[in-house]
Structure 1
Amino acid sequence: MSKYPNGGKVTTKKSEFRKANETNLLCDDGISQIYLSSELVIHEAVHEGNVFHLYASSSLDYGICPYCGHASSQVHSRYFRTIQDMSILGERVILHLEVRKFFCHNDDCRRKTFAEQPGNEVFRYRRRTCRCERAVARHGITASSGSASRLLAHMGIFISPSTVLRDLHRMRTPGYDDVEEVGVDDWAWRKGVTYGSIIIDYTNGWPIDLLGDRETEGFREWMEQHENVHIVSRDRSTDYSSAIASTERRITEVADKFHLVKNITDRTTKLIAENYADYRLAVRSGEKSPVNTTEATKAPLATDCPSKKPDSREVMFKEVKELQRKGFKPTPIAKKLGIARQTATKYCKMESLPGRNSKLRNEYYKYDAYVEREAASGKPLSVIHQEISQMGFSGSLTPFYDHYKYLSDGHRGYRPKNWKPDPKKEKPQDDRSELLPVKSISSVIDKMLKGKDLDESQKKTFDTLMSLGWFKEMYEAMEGFCKVIKGNKTVELVRWMKRYWKTGIQSLKTFIIGIKKDFQAVRNTIRLNITNGMTEGFVNKLKVVKRSMYGRAGLELLKNKLVLEHILFN
């Protein structure tokens, strides 16, 4: 069915739809209302094959030249555009738009003709309406391209995953030049290998940029492009601090409370690991720990007996080695010879071809009498296999079971009919007190620090630790530091540092020296009560988005997915 005038050919005459529009305004009062703000009028709506076909044209009698801005009413020609729109009642909608080309009579314009661009719903060179493109972008941001394509298909918008990606790559993020308070933290491209940086606008609470590294130079360049920034919340990284200092601007740095508490708890964990022997002595005081030795025995290795009879395997092996000498890799060799790639790889690694594995090589007949006699006495086949392996039998366990399955009653392990289980052996006993690993001890300390309830065993562990002088001093210092950080008096930080400055615990001393070097940022976190928790939350969200893209997300695409979300959904 063709609804186009003259079969869709270019014409300068007025189309049938425009003639109908001038005499019949029925569609204008009904379905045309959905495009009223877009300067479009619907002439006819046809439902065919689960698809709504809407035939439309511009509601204006003139066109505006997009190059010079002059209006023109002289039509040069007409053509049709097929545009996809949002679904109606879950069914696909195709908009057939008649577009006019006008003559431009402005002598200063570099174009003589131009095509009209009515309203704000249809853009140049686009095959989807503006609202349809917004729906595609929203689904592309919240899900992977494949998932977005499938979800859109259920909405009547049929689009490929590659097109979803192209639309996301075409979008550009704002510059956010007026941002004043930011939070910065690193995130892992590949954990332990490559890292990037995420920057959050603390005033509005959304991410504004992603950087491809966490080095000083990258963040310094970003800071130079955003001159209004005067507060930066960061972790304890010296790279971000150096970048801020290199800008030579009065910027308030705020060290994150979470990282400060984590730093001192990590120091406590390290101290416990270094002095774990003291904890063991405190737990096992007055107890004797007997030493049990176990002897490990190695099973004898079975040697293969190569067969001297030539067969097709030797011919194929020679072919593989010949191609390998010519420089072929296993995959091309497998394709050339029509063998499995695994076989070609195995042959390439061999210097000589071993013999075939066969039942004759195992020589079961030598052991039949022994196996039948031992099985009749009630011995399991698994034990018999171990015994004859020491006698020189080279067969594996599963073929051995298959060969002598007539001796079993069908139970698992091929047990003989008169088999009886061995009497249960007594389990070894250990009456000594339990020793907790370092990680479990750290969790007990964390619960105690947060004021959570401990069970009896945890209380006993904590009391044992508090009996050690070095742990008692470290825990009291950690508890005091957490109170200072969560408070609002900066003078308490100085008092805490003076109190433990002459400590003999090296882990605590190292932590205090780090606080001294980063004193202004640590003091600001008490004074301003700003945390990097929002940044950490968006780092977790970034990890989810990155993993949903199956490791194929580039930096720009990842930035668009994270930064543009609040724009498209608000």
Structure 2
Amino acid sequence: MCDDWLGIVFPHLEKVLVEWVRVEGGVVRVKARTRDSALQCPDCGVPSCRVHSWYQRRLADAAVGGRPVVIDLSVRRLFCDVADCARRTFAEQVEGLTIPYGRRTVGLLGIVQAIALALAGRAGARLAAVLHIAVGRVTLLNVLMALPDPCSRSPRVVGVDDFATRRGRRYGTVLVDIESHEVLDLLPGREKEPVAVWLARHPGIEVICRDRAGAYAEAARAGAPGALQVADRWHLWDNLATAIERTVIANRPCLLAPEPSAPSARRLAAAPPSTLNPDTGMEKWLVTRTRERHQAVQRLLARGWTISAIGRELGLARHTAERYAHCENLDGLIDRSLRTTRLDDYKPYLIRRWNEGCTDAARLFREIQAQGYPGSTPQAVRRYLRPLRTGLGSIRSPAPVLKPQQVTNWIMWNPQHLRADEQRQLGEVLARCPELSAARGHVHAFAQMVCNLGGDSLPTWTDAVHADDLPALHAFADGLQHDHQAVVAGLTLPWSSGPVEGHVNRIKMLKRQMYGRAGFALLRKRVLLA
């Protein structure tokens, strides 16, 4: 009965002789020794049973019943009697229980390695404490870094993309086997040379999926000149969306609804602009700050200052200073600085009801609350209507203010996914702007190529784009011509960088889990093995 119980609780001790099991000070102690059997010399492989000496090993094991387990194991040191063998003695190892110089059993070591891979240092140490495993964060990191890298292999289809270890400053490159969706390697930096060297060391690559970055294109030509380069379709679509947004910004006046031409017997007042504070009637401080920062950055830029110097002078982050320096449309920058509220979607309804004669804020609040407004008090409604009470006559109901990004999304989305009101507003914008109407037609034609893998139609599409007066789309089409072979392959072959983008998201999760304090070597180890 006792032997059966030991076999159930400690199955990994079946190859040793257990002398006793006790609980001492909250720790389960197991006393055991190895069996008297011949063992092979690790060098020459000749069995030996002549004992040189005995010694004690103390091994930590996985907890049982919420108590740590310690195994006091007596093992032998044996002679090797082969005269030609360089080893005179060797220590005994128990398969499935011990490893050379190890202070943990094989089973506990596997648990510690799994914790280190999943949680790394501090978080792993906290979980280990819950599991009654005495291990510190530094030990977990050492165990993780001691794990061997996966075996190197030469894939047939490779995907390459960059990821940020510190956004705007340090980057890395991830290479993924597109067929098996496994990470092949992580390289520091996103320059041409490391990628080209890695590709040259892995012959047999036939297809390379990449984004539109020129460094990766040059690396593919240098490291794997015989491989076919494939431009990722998602990046092509994203580049098209950027060109469409620039086109919408260039035609921003078309987003405004036309003024009513019918004369009115009453004085009409415009609804309060979103840039003004409804309490004071003055410009919002965020708008003023954005305008002043833009003027200051442009003034210093005209003097020849660098982006970094401008940021230090004005106390701005480098990305913020760069955004103001490269701003092509100040109104769009101001729109992005304004904070949206939960009342924005209900403002057109409030204006319409005000014109109908309903000026009771409490009643209007109950009406929009029935429509789904999440507010619990009418204070926001009163605050919005306060400037209207000081005006004379009724207020015309303005059309919702459309933002370039919103119109861009409507143009890029599948028409079947638009709501009825979105289709109506987009139709009104396209009716006022033939340029945006033509751009939408080009977007739909490009979407057909992407969905149907019709890369053969690319020359016809670029010719049609150049036939219209759309400078932003002309630049996009010219960029496609410069990378023509890879773009046609991306629009024709089924390969894409989708698995790579998935691993980039996983890398971001692992990086943030370590709070950005881990080095590249640790991040690489976790990505390759986790």
| TM-score in same-fold range (> 0.5) | yes
Q: Root-mean-square deviation (CA), in Å?
A: 2.8
Matches within 5 A, 1:299-448: 427=389, 431=396, 432-447=398-413
Matched residue, 1:113? 89
| 1:49 positional shift | 3.3
- 1:499 aligned onto 2:464: yes
- 1:180 aligned onto 2:180: no
- AA aligned to 1:486 is C
| 1:444 positional shift | 2.9
1:43 counterpart (6, 15, 19) = 19
Matched residue, 1:515? 480
| 1:450 positional shift | 5.3
2:6 counterpart (18, 31, 36) = 31
Preserved contact between residue 448 and residue 454 of structure 2 (Cα < 8 Å): no
Preserved contact between residue 60 and residue 71 of structure 2 (Cα < 8 Å): yes
Distance 1:261 1:466, change over 3 A: farther
Distance 1:122 1:284, change over 3 A: farther
Q: Secondary structure, in 3 states, of the residue corresponding to 1:528?
A: coil
Identity over aligned pairs, percent: 27
**In 2, distance between residues paired with 1:164 and 1:295?**
58
| 1:56 positional shift | 2.0
Q: State the Cα deviation string for residues 146-165 of structure 1 (Å, max 9, x = none).
A: 22122122223221111111
Distance 1:113 1:445, change over 3 A: same
**In 1, distance between residues paired with 2:490 and 2:422?**
37
Matched residue, 2:128? 152
Distance 1:520 1:59, change over 3 A: farther
1:192 counterpart (168, 178, 182) = 168
Matched residue, 1:142? 118
| 1:187 positional shift | 0.6
Matched residue, 2:251? 275
Matched residue, 1:16? none
Preserved contact between residue 160 and residue 175 of structure 2 (Cα < 8 Å): yes
Preserved contact between residue 412 and residue 443 of structure 2 (Cα < 8 Å): no
Matched residue, 2:418? 453
**Structure number with bigger Rg:** 1
| 1:117 positional shift | 1.8
2:144 counterpart (157, 164, 168) = 168
Matches within 5 A, 1:58-69: 58-69=34-45
**In 1, distance between residues paired with 2:166 and 2:469?**
39
Preserved contact between residue 216 and residue 240 of structure 1 (Cα < 8 Å): yes
Matched residue, 1:14? none
Q: Secondary structure, in 3 states, of the residue corresponding to 1:436?
A: coil
Distance 1:248 1:61, change over 3 A: closer
1:87 counterpart (63, 70, 86) = 63
Q: 5+ unaligned residues in a row in structure 2: which ranges?
A: 263-267, 284-385
Q: Secondary structure, in 3 states, of the residue corresponding to 1:57?
A: strand
**In 2, distance between residues paired with 1:486 and 1:169?**
44
Distance 1:231 1:68, change over 3 A: same
- AA aligned to 1:546 is K
Preserved contact between residue 410 and residue 422 of structure 2 (Cα < 8 Å): no
| 1:488 positional shift | 3.0
| 1:236 positional shift | 1.2
| 1:45 positional shift | 1.9
| 1:483 positional shift | 0.8
Greater shift after overlay, 516-525 or 271-280? 271-280
| 1:30 positional shift | 5.3
Matched residue, 2:519? 554
Q: Secondary structure, in 3 states, of the residue corresponding to 2:442?
A: helix
1:485 counterpart (426, 433, 450) = 450
**In 1, distance between residues paired with 2:68 and 2:12?**
21
Preserved contact between residue 444 and residue 462 of structure 1 (Cα < 8 Å): no
Matched residue, 2:293? none
- AA aligned to 2:167 is K
Preserved contact between residue 61 and residue 108 of structure 2 (Cα < 8 Å): yes
Matched residue, 1:397? none
| 1:127 positional shift | 0.8
Q: Secondary structure, in 3 states, of the residue corresponding to 1:222?
A: helix
- 1:217 aligned onto 2:212: no
**In 2, distance between residues paired with 1:176 and 1:283?**
64
- 1:204 aligned onto 2:180: yes
TM-score normalised by length of structure 2: 0.71
| 1:145 positional shift | 1.7
Distance 1:514 1:175, change over 3 A: farther
TM-score normalised by length of structure 1: 0.66
Preserved contact between residue 38 and residue 118 of structure 1 (Cα < 8 Å): no
**In 1, distance between residues paired with 2:410 and 2:389?**
30
Preserved contact between residue 28 and residue 41 of structure 1 (Cα < 8 Å): no
Q: Secondary structure, in 3 states, of the residue corresponding to 2:174?
A: strand
Distance 1:53 1:284, change over 3 A: farther
Q: Secondary structure, in 3 states, of the residue corresponding to 1:102?
A: strand
| 1:29 positional shift | 5.9
| 1:441 positional shift | 2.3
Distance 1:492 1:530, change over 3 A: same
| 1:125 positional shift | 0.9
| 1:132 positional shift | 1.2
Q: Secondary structure, in 3 states, of the residue corresponding to 1:523?
A: helix
Preserved contact between residue 34 and residue 74 of structure 2 (Cα < 8 Å): yes
Distance 1:524 1:467, change over 3 A: same
- AA aligned to 1:214 is R
Q: Secondary structure, in 3 states, of the residue corresponding to 2:416?
A: coil
- AA aligned to 1:48 is E
**In 2, distance between residues paired with 1:227 and 1:450?**
45
